[in-house]
A and B are shown apart, each in its own frame.
Chain A
Amino acid sequence: MTTLPSSTYRTRPPSPSLDRRSRDLRIQIVRMLAAGRRGHLASAFSLVEILRVLYDDVMRFDPTNPTWDGRDRMILSKGHGCMALYALLADKGFFPEAHLWEFCKPNGILGGHPEFGKVPGVEASTGALGHGLSLGIGRALALRGNPKAGRVFVVNSDGECNEGSTWEAALAASKHKLDNLTVLMDCNHMQSYATTSDVLDLEPLADKWRAFGFHVIEVDGHDMAALREALAVLPLRKGQPSILICHTVKGKGVSSIEGDLSWHHKNKITEEELAALFSGLEEA
């Protein structure tokens, strides 16, 4: 597995080209964006491979019985990345694809942040940042010791580490030695206003998580092979919670929007922009 020091990822994130499935998932996301005429596109694009590896290769679930006791639980703490989750849940058959085209519509079930109880397969209502890890810890505590129980995955973001509650939760995960809990961080090095280093510098981020008691692995968050290898055997370390810091590119998949802060969230999308996104994905 290729593991580079954090500084390498910060300055030059490796960018393997995307395969057909990664491009198709992003095309679904752009179609959703076109239907809703708004959305956190770049935040969803950075997340695609992280969710893809979980749903394609790691997690146990039954789309026909989304609350099956033995399922693995995935909490998308960075709820604004939900378009990527919706694309995967539809792809896996949790709900009909037609719901995607009602994104943010009055009677649709898919809003700009995911809601528990409304969307089959969504394990928690998120959107306010810094909540998901605590929810995951509570679930992991309740599930541990039960051999038939599923595992808990929390997908958060580096920007979310601005929230104090993230670190309160990190202390608790470590205190309880929750090895049935794995955190995957979409570390795209950007937040709404600017880079994470400009807004509120998090570095040395991996060292911080280590200091808070986590087993830390860093990986290229768009490299499916590296992600699969990193998650091949769980827990990553017995008796300790783990975090996979997935270094990603905000807007990954369309070179013209990669790293462009204006795509963090848009509520006005032109036909020209949509056409550029579709054609950009074919070139990716």
Chain B
Amino acid sequence: MRATCLEMVYQLAKNDERIVFIGSDLGVGTLNKFKNEMPDQFFMEGISEAHVIGMAAGMAMEGRIVYVNTIATFLTRRCYEQLAVDLCMHRANVRLLANGAGVAYAPLGPTHQATEDLAILRALPGMAVVAPADATEMERVMAATVEYPGPIYIRQGRGGDPVVTPPDQEFRIGQVYLLRPGKDVLFVTTGTMAKAALDAAELLAARGLHAGVVHVPTLKPLDVEALKALMAPVRAVLTVEEHSVIGGLGSAVAEILAEAAFLSPKGFARLGIPDVFADQYGSQATLLAHWDLTPEPMARRAATLAGL
């Protein structure tokens, strides 16, 4: 997903001299061809995220479309005030390409795990928050970022994530995508968790329960009406995210549910990372399993909520 994302920045920049790339201190060789072919549009500015965001905002004020890339935690925790003031208050056309969000960097420990990025970014007025499911969707997301007004946070998975979105699907920032219909239960997912939800839905089908999966690549602006319509008929809703259960997709959907006042009560669960920093290393897969973010426990939870 990251390779696709950076390749897209390169391709977009080739056709649009407004497009600029800024990295902090990325891996050796990153986007070499970009640097060689378009040196005036390529910047590697050092481990100085607060400055980098301000500089990106300044460039955007002069008409540039700026793609900033570094590790998700440093791009969010480190420079939160710059995100609020320099980007959001100025409606700056800056795109934040966040590497390894969630627990992609599991073995590196919690300093490198962006597990509250969606919560804190979602709280900023004017910040669009996008979490694609796979590399093919990333391609469509990136194409949509060029003309979108204002700052955008783009959450990237670990890479090599299974492709679950149809290749011919159009993409629009602010839209949700039903990957699988189901009348009993609805999994609402964001980012790369769509695959686990689709697998959980398969397991439930074998037990006679029809579970749908709706993928929410844009957490903000959130398509509230579409989600309400999809949630209305089902008995239970489960949100699934590689993120804290506080403040992210689960909270956003809970807010919709609470305000929708559906006539019949619905089971509801937020599946995500509990309110902790990771207490294990291992891999992304072992950490997700540690927190029951895998198909079998997800299916069990859904069945219980649906009264099966």
Give me the interface of A with B, judged by CB distance under 8 Å.
115-117, 123-128, 130-131, 133-143, 164-165, 168-169, 171-172
Contacts and interface: CB of A to CB of B under 8 A. Distances in A.
Contact of A142 (B52, B62, B81): B62
A136 B64 CA distance: 14
B145 to A, nearest CB: 19
A171 B48 contact: yes
Contact of A168 (B43, B50, B58, B86): B50
A-side binding surface: helix, strand, loop or mixed? helix
Given A141-B59, A142-B59, A131 B89 contact: no
Contact of B54 (A117, A138, A171): A138
Nearest to A145: B40
A125 B85 contact: yes
Contacts of B274: none
B90 A138 contact: no
Contact of B86 (A134, A142, A143, A172): A134
10 contacts: A128-B81, A134-B51, A135-B57, A135-B58, A135-B61, A138-B60, A142-B59, A142-B63, A165-B48, A169-B54
A168 B48 contact: yes
B295 to A, nearest CB: 45
A94 to B, nearest CB: 18
Contact of B59 (A127, A133, A139): A139
A-B residue pairs, 4 tightest by C-beta = A138-B58, A134-B54, A142-B62, A168-B51
Contact of A139 (B46, B52, B62): B62
A166 B54 CA distance: 11
Nearest to A125: B89
B85 A172 contact: no
Given A131-B82, A131-B85, A141 B54 contact: no
Interface in B47-101: 48, 50-64, 81-82, 85-86, 89-91
B45 interface: yes
A134 B50 contact: yes
Given A131-B86, A137-B54, 4 more contacts: A134-B86, A141-B43, A142-B63, A169-B54
Contacts of A131: 54, 81-82, 85-86
A171 B55 contact: no
A138 B85 contact: no
Contacts of A168: 46, 48, 50-51
A142 B85 contact: no
Contacts of A115: 89
Contact of A138 (B48, B50, B57): B57
B110 to A, nearest CB: 23
A124 B59 CA distance: 12
B90 A116 contact: yes
B50 A136 contact: no
A127 B84 CA distance: 12
B157 to A, nearest CB: 29
Contacts of B61: 123-124, 135, 138-139, 142
Nearest to A135: B58
A171 B46 contact: yes
